[in-house]
């Protein structure tokens, strides 16, 4: 549903803009509200409301008697917040999430199918450089596209 890579700055009021193509997809699918939370690899995860509820149900079903599940759920859900982009697609990412992801001024917004990720530009560039070098090996180890 969400695809692409877009560079945007955080404005003086602390707002980030949802890229135009992602706004179009949201509008086409009746999405008005998103949930943001701590992601993996030092990024922020952003889910459309319906997808958030699907993920929430998966994580809630993890056994609370397992330490890893408790730790993950605590960090994932305690970091969560609702955002509703304004008419221009601007929204405020909570400061604690920007701090978690190291975002100060410039961000990269990427679509990862069922979610959006928001990255600090430098962190994204470093991740991309490192991982793109191994992209074919990763695909070979994970996928059977025959």
Domain 2-142: homologous superfamily in CATH: Transcriptional regulator MraZ domain (3.40.1550.20)
Answer whether 0.85 is exceeded by the pTM. yes
List the 81-83 sheet strands across, edge first. Answer: 2-9, 106-113, 116-120, 44-48, 34-38, 81-83
Is the pLDDT confidence value at 103 over 90? yes
- Three-state SS string across 96-121, please? HHHHHHCCCCEEEEEEEECCEEEEEH
Q: What is the pLDDT of residues 14-28, one digit of tens each?
A: 999 999 999 999 999
Sort strands 116-120 and 90-92 into parallel, antiparallel or unpaired.
unpaired
Q: What is the pLDDT of residues 120-139, one digit of tens each?
A: 999 999 999 999 888 888 78
């Amino acid at each position: 549903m969400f695809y692409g890579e877009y560079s945007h700055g955080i404005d003086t009021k602390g707002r980030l803009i949802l890229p135009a193509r992602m706004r179009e997809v949201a509008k086409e699918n009746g999405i008005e509200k998103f949930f943001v939370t701590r992601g993996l690899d030092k990024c922020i995860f952003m889910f459309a409301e319906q997808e958030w509820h699907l993920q929430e149900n998966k994580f809630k079903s993890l056994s609370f008697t397992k330490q890893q599940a408790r730790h993950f759920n605590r960090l994932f859900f305690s970091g969560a917040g609702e955002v509703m982009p304004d008419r221009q697609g601007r929204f405020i990412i909570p400061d604690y999430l920007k701090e978690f992801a190291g975002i100060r001024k410039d961000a990269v917004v990427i679509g990862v199918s069922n979610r959006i990720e928001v990255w600090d530009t430098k962190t994204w560039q470093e991740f991309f450089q490192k991982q793109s070098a191994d992209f074919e090996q990763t695909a070979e180890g994970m996928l059977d596209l025959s």
